[in-house]
Amino acid sequence: MSRCCTVNFKEHALFGPAIEVISAIENHGGEAFMVGGCVRDFLLGQEVKDVDIATSLRPEEIMNIFDKVIPVGIEHGTVIVRQRSLSFEVTTYRMEEDYEDYRHPSQVYFVSSIEQDLSRRDFTMNAMAMTSGGKLIDPFSGEEAIREKKIETVGSPSDRFEEDPLRMMRALRFSSQLGFTVSPSVLEVIKEKSSLLQHLSVERLAAEFEKTVAGPWYRKGLNYLAGTGVFAHLPVFCTCTDAAGRLPLVRLRDWSEMLSFYHQQIPGVPVEDWGRKWKLSNSTKKKARNISGAVQMYKERGLGDYLLYTLGGADLYSWVNVMRSLGYEMETDPVERYRSLPIHSRSELHLDTEELLQLFPERKKGKWIGEYLNALVQSVVEGNCVNEKDELIKWIIELDRQRQG
C-alpha cells in the first residue's frame, strides 16, 4: 500500500512550494497529498512540470487558509492556490458518477479518504499519492506497473473508458511517450469500445493524437492506434484507412509536420481539408501548406536555392524533418545551404518598391509590382543576378522588355 521515497523535496523547484501548501493545510487540521502525474514522473525520474494536490478539506476551507486562491472549478472541489508565484491545483477528495456526455460526471460528491479519491483515476500509474515526507500511497500497485512498464486501468477497463472514451487515446499516447506496453485486457476493451470516440470533440482527439505521434516511442503508439481500430474513428483516417499503417521514418514534432506527412500519404485530401476536419489553427495550416508545397517542389525540381528561400528559417527545420520522415536523403545540408543564400527576404533586395515604380513612371500600380519583385528575388537567390542596384535595374528592364514583347 505504501512505502517511503528518499528525496529532499524542499530542494525541488515545485515540490518545495507544494510542501508549503500541504503543511498549511495540515496545520489547519486537514490531510493533503501530491497526486497523479507528478508522482508518476518522479518515480520515472522524469521532469515534474506541475504538482496537483488532493486534500480532505473543502474548497471554502482552502480559500480561508490561503491569501491567493482562484476558484476555477469550485463546484467540483478544485481551486488553484498561488504559492511563491506558482500555481497548484488543490482538489477535495471526491468520487464521480454517471458520465452522461462521456466526459463530465453528472454527480460529484466528496469522500473522506485518499484511497477513495485515487480509485476514480484512469490508470494505476496515475493513481498514486505521496506525502510531504515522501511516503508513497499506492493502493492499486501503480509503482509495480511503472516498474514493469505496463499501462493498466484502475478497475474495469470497460467502466473507465465508458466514463471518458478519451482515456483510450490517453492509454495509447502514454505508450508512445513512455514506451510502456498496454495491457492485453485493456487493448481488447479499446477494440470493443473505440466507436465511443465519436462522442468526443475533435479538439480533444487532436491534442492526444499530436502527443502520440510526437512521442519518443511513436511507432508503438501508432501501431496500437492501427491495431485497435482507433484510426477508423479519427477525422480523415476514417475514410482513408490505408494511410493508418504508414509510419513516418522519424518522429514528427507537431501538427504542421504531421499534416504535411499524412498529406503525402493521402494526396487526394488537400491540406486545407485536413486542417478543417481536425479543426487546426490557421497558423498550423499555413505552415503545413508551405512545407507541403516545398515537398512537391523538391519532387519536381530537386533541392534548389529558391525552394529553401520559400521555406525561410521558420519552416526549414520542419521541412527537413518531414523529408526525413518520408525517406528522402539529401547530399547537401539544407540548413547550411539556406544560410549561404545571398538574401533571405524580399526586404534585403537593393531595389525597393518606390525605386521600381520610378523605372516605369507611366505605369499604374497593380499586381505586376509584386510579380516583378518576386521574379527579381528568385533571380538573385538562384544566382542569375547580383544584388546590386545597377544590376537589379538592368535585370528588371530586360524582364519588362520580354514581357511587353
Cα three-residue angle 319-325-326, rounded to 5 degrees: 90
Dihedral, 379, 380, 384, 389 alpha carbons, nearest 10? 110
Binding-site residue ranges? 37, 40, 50, 52, 121, 164, 167, 170, 173
Cα 257 to chain centroid distance, Å, stands at 11
Q: Would strands 135-137 and 2-4 be described as parallel, antiparallel, or unpaired?
A: antiparallel
The overall longest dimension of the chain from CA atoms, in Å, is: 91
Dihedral, 73, 74, 76, 77 alpha carbons, nearest 10? 120
Q: Facing residues of 54 across strands?
A: 33, 91
Q: List, in order, residues 6 or more apart from 5 with CB less than 8 Å away.
A: 42, 43, 130, 134, 135, 136
Binding-site residue ranges for CTP? 37, 40, 121, 164, 167, 170, 173
The residue whose grid cell reads 521541412 is 319
Binding-site residue ranges for Mg(2+)? 50, 52
Binding-site residue ranges for ATP? 37, 40, 121, 164, 167, 170, 173
Q: List, in order, residues 6 or more apart from 211 with CB less than 8 Å away.
A: 173, 176, 177
CA 361 – CA 364 distance, rounded (Å)? 8
**H and E: helices and strands count for the chain:** 18, 12
The SS3 of residue 3 is: strand
Judge contact between 257 and 289, C-beta under 8 A.
Answer: no
Could you tell me the CA-to-CA distances from 102 to 87, 194, 268 in Å, in that order?
A: 28, 13, 33
Nearest residue to 31 via CA among 49, 63, 1, 57: 57
